Amino acid sequence: MRLSDLPTPSLILDRARLKRNVARMVARAKELGVTLRPHMKTAKSAEVARLVHGGGTGPITVSTLAEAEYFAKSGFTDMLYAVAIVPAKLDRAAAIMRAAPGLKLLTDDLEAARAIAARGAALGVRFNAVIEVETGGGRAGVDPTSPELAAIADALAPAGMLAGVMAHAGHSYGCEGVTEIEEVAEAERAGVVAAAEFLRARGHSFEHVSVGSTPTALHARHLDGVTEMRPGNFVFFDLFQHGLGMCAAEDIAVGVLTSVIGHHRGRNHILLDAGALALSKDTGANRRIENVGYGLVRAPSEASPREDVAVLDVHQEHGILSARRGLDAIDPLPFADWPVGSRTLVLPNHVCMTSAMYTQYHVIDGSDEIVAVWDRTGGW
Amino acid sequence: MRLSDLPTPSLILDRARLKRNVARMVARAKELGVTLRPHMKTAKSAEVARLVHGGGTGPITVSTLAEAEYFAKSGFTDMLYAVAIVPAKLDRAAAIMRAAPGLKLLTDDLEAARAIAARGAALGVRFNAVIEVETGGGRAGVDPTSPELAAIADALAPAGMLAGVMAHAGHSYGCEGVTEIEEVAEAERAGVVAAAEFLRARGHSFEHVSVGSTPTALHARHLDGVTEMRPGNFVFFDLFQHGLGMCAAEDIAVGVLTSVIGHHRGRNHILLDAGALALSKDTGANRRIENVGYGLVRAPSEASPREDVAVLDVHQEHGILSARRGLDAIDPLPFADWPVGSRTLVLPNHVCMTSAMYTQYHVIDGSDEIVAVWDRTGGW
């Protein structure tokens, strides 16, 4: 089967690019002396997780219990579910632990920590809990070295359920330039290490001191005191990461294969069958790359996206490909080069959101031949 | 089963509100003297489609061939696939027609029309094609009374494949006030009727003269010359439609049930387990309702959303519920009223996008009891 045989829209994964991206992050983790626990919220694919771990299973991060169930079925036993747990989810987590005893839960709340300990005792399950600390991101987490942190650890430790501390510098996505990312990475590292030392000084022991985001993983100066990192986006990259300077446009490993379904010469645009659902409505990359809309396009046979056009508007099932620049915009577009039925790849603005709309990847590797179809999970 | 038994996030559908919304549009179609061909791109549910048609099947509109396949399996035979067809999709359409002979395809392109006629002849299938005309929306369609329209009709008619003309006034979503919507509705009606008369004067005959969007369906002054309308969003409504004045907040029939997963007192926000994937990143309603973010919230037992807070930021699996107004914003939020593990409903900014993330509706009807679980389709 070839790209030309696929229905459109379809999600295409370039395995050569994926392997290159993975090799880069594996080397980074080795250089930093930490375990790579890739965040599978981006790929949601056992094949991708195995590729990161050299063909086998290994530690991963997940964003939903549905992901944890999927990866447990695929043989992954060591998972950090990196969204704060609520008591109503503990029984489901306990069920997952039968196949994946290394499942770790996250909390930053004293009542939730008490519920973890109590429900674990009632079920006869030793949950593994990691405490989230805030290191500047402002989303979640308690302050390192705070009484709240101590109280949460004290609620978990007697039951043998304190597994570690973690931080997520999500605000690295808002940085301007590498120096600022380096500073955010250092704050993330220093904060979580301070929390670990604070708890150890109080007599606690635990295994995991965890940080992570693709930008901080790529630009941390060192990770002394940290045991693992959890980047996720790096496997595929996207226009946002490209705009942030984390990758070249040629590293973006995932695209949406779409068909030209119409021309509107009066408005000088080309209609594609990839719209808001096929691409997502994430427009974050426009903060970094002017007028990138919902995505840039490239021919499947080309390495780099075109600079002159972008998907500048979307309706539910329509993408509107238009000239990208202002005054010297191409007018008219070369409609004859884009006949109805011809195909192009749209590079995603934010690949975590775009990929979430699909249940499988069609995998290519250096040609237009589909060399594999990899499933991906979703939902909650 | 009750709401409190569901995992979060889950998609909740209030059947009483749905029935009220449906009754209103059914009455509108009757008043206007046209067939209601609801656009199932919003609900993607056979149960909802049957509810519109009084318990049976009836004419519907679909946005993908996957939807057409799903509805054909559910016994719907009369469908308009309202996205321009490309030749590579014709064999799949022909296969669907074995169960749903009333499948209608859309085109606004002469080459595509020729391909429809040729491929139909080769397959021994009489495709039904509807020609899209532009009436101001600027997305797709040929001009009514244009040589292009005549040429497309001439390509289809000899094969007996010309089924009608249609228009979609998607720009009604950009209107300011009812008077402007009435004008757009009239332009939509007049444009498509002009196209029908133009083709009839050239000797063509066909059945369908089709218009549609929720705002124009609600506010067309009359639909003389039109045979059917295709609103979709009206079954559920959302904050965008509310902001546009098309419904009351109490008409919004779908919400995302979410759990409080954390408090951040320092930043004065509450964390929910419904983030960018559970809610979508559509923020269109903010053009209409100030500071509505990714959604307003209400208790499942309340009729109306709270005015004081909104989901003002999202990460992939985190929603950040914050005080809504500027100077007199609540600070601190009443954290004690929102304990970790407590639940709320998020009303969607744009329900077509939000619902697309789920494979089923949990249906309630006047209480917190789950009275049904309805599947929904997705993908392409």
Q: What is the DSSP string of B252-271?
A: --EEEEEEEEEEETTTTEEE
Range in A87-96, A225-234, B165-174, B320-329 with the lowest mean pLDDT: B320-329
CA distance A187 to B234: 49
- Give the closest-approach CA distance of A267 to chain B in angstroms: 7
Strands (E), B212-253: 228-229
- Give the closest-approach CA distance of A10 to chain B in angstroms: 8
How buried is A263 (Cβ within 10 angstroms: 0-12 exposed, 13-18 middle, 19+ buried)?
buried
Q: Is there a contact between B278 and B231 (Cβ–Cβ < 8 Å)?
A: no
Q: Which residue has the higher pLDDT, A312 or B328?
A: A312
**ipTM of model:** 0.96
The mean of the pLDDT values for chain B is 96
pLDDT, mean of residues B72-78? 98
Q: Is there a contact between A321 and A305 (Cβ–Cβ < 8 Å)?
A: no
CA distance A338 to A315: 20
Share of chain B above pLDDT 90, in %: 93
Report residue A43 as tokens. Answer: 């790929």
Q: Which residues of B320-332 are buried (b: 16+ CB within 10 A; e: fewer)?
A: bbbbbeeeeeeee
Mark yes or no for CB contact B273/A138 under 8 Å.
no
CA distance B263 to B272: 9
Residues 348-377 of A with CB under 8 A from B: 352-353, 356-359
Instruction: Specify the 3-state DSSP secondary structure of B239.
Output: helix
Judge whether B261 is closer than 8 Å to chain A, CB to CB.
yes
For A83, the closest chain B residue by CA position comes to B317
Q: What is the DSSP string of B268-302?
A: TEEEES--HHHH-S--GGGGTSTT-TTEEEE-TT-
For A78, phi then psi, to 5°, come to -115, 100
Tell me whether the omega of the peptide bond preceding residue A300 falls within 30 degrees of 0, making it cis: no
A271 contacts on B by Cβ (under 8 Å): 84, 139-140
Q: Taking the CA of residue B17 as centre, how many other CA atoms within 13 Å lie in the half-sphere pointing to its CB?
A: 23
CA distance A231 to A216: 8
Strands (E), B171-251: 208-211, 228-229
- Give the closest-approach CA distance of A206 to chain B in angstroms: 23
CA distance B170 to B212: 8
Judge whether B340 is closer than 8 Å to chain A, CB to CB.
yes
Judge whether A8 is closer than 8 Å to chain B, CB to CB.
yes
What's the pLDDT score for residue B65? 98
Task: List the pLDDT tens digit at each of the 380 positions of chain A.
Answer: 999 999 999 999 999 999 999 999 999 999 999 999 999 999 999 999 999 999 999 999 999 999 999 999 999 999 999 999 999 999 999 999 999 999 999 999 999 999 999 999 999 999 999 999 999 877 889 999 999 999 999 999 999 999 999 999 888 888 888 999 999 999 999 999 999 999 999 999 999 999 989 999 999 999 999 999 999 999 999 999 999 999 999 999 999 999 999 999 888 999 999 999 999 999 999 999 999 999 999 999 999 999 999 999 999 999 999 999 765 778 999 999 999 999 999 999 999 999 999 999 999 998 999 999 999 999 99
Mark yes or no for CB contact B379/A356 under 8 Å.
no
B262 contacts on A by Cβ (under 8 Å): 84, 108-109, 140
Q: What is the DSSP string of A168-185?
A: --GGGGG--SHHHHHHHH
- Give the closest-approach CA distance of B305 to chain A in angstroms: 24
Q: Is there a contact between B79 and B103 (Cβ–Cβ < 8 Å)?
A: yes
What's the pLDDT score for residue B51? 98
CA distance readout (Å), B123 to B65, B119, B152:
18, 6, 20
CA distance A124 to A250: 51
Nearest-by-Cβ selection for B281 from A115, A262, A282: A282
pLDDT, mean of residues B100-105? 98
Mark yes or no for CB contact B380/A7 under 8 Å.
yes
What's the pLDDT score for residue A327? 59
Mark yes or no for CB contact A318/B86 under 8 Å.
no
CA distance readout (Å), A66 to A26, A230, B297, B328:
26, 19, 25, 40
B170 contacts on A by Cβ (under 8 Å): 315
pLDDT, mean of residues B344-368? 97
- pTM for the structure as a whole: 0.96
CA distance A236 to A39: 12
Partners of A122 in the beta sheet? none
What's the pLDDT score for residue B173? 87
Q: Is the pLDDT of residue B30 over 70?
A: yes
pLDDT, mean of residues B200-222? 96
DSSP-derived pairing of the beta strands B254-264 and B10-14: antiparallel
Instruction: Specify the 3-state DSSP secondary structure of A295.
Output: strand
What's the pLDDT score for residue B329? 79
CA distance A81 to A210: 13
Residues 199-228 of B with CB under 8 A from A: none
Q: Is there a contact between A284 and A241 (Cβ–Cβ < 8 Å)?
A: no
Report residue B344 as tokens. Answer: 């709320």
Residues 117-146 of A with CB under 8 A from B: 134, 138-140, 143
What's the pLDDT score for residue A326? 66
What's the pLDDT score for residue A266? 87
What's the pLDDT score for residue A244? 94
pLDDT, mean of residues B313-327? 90
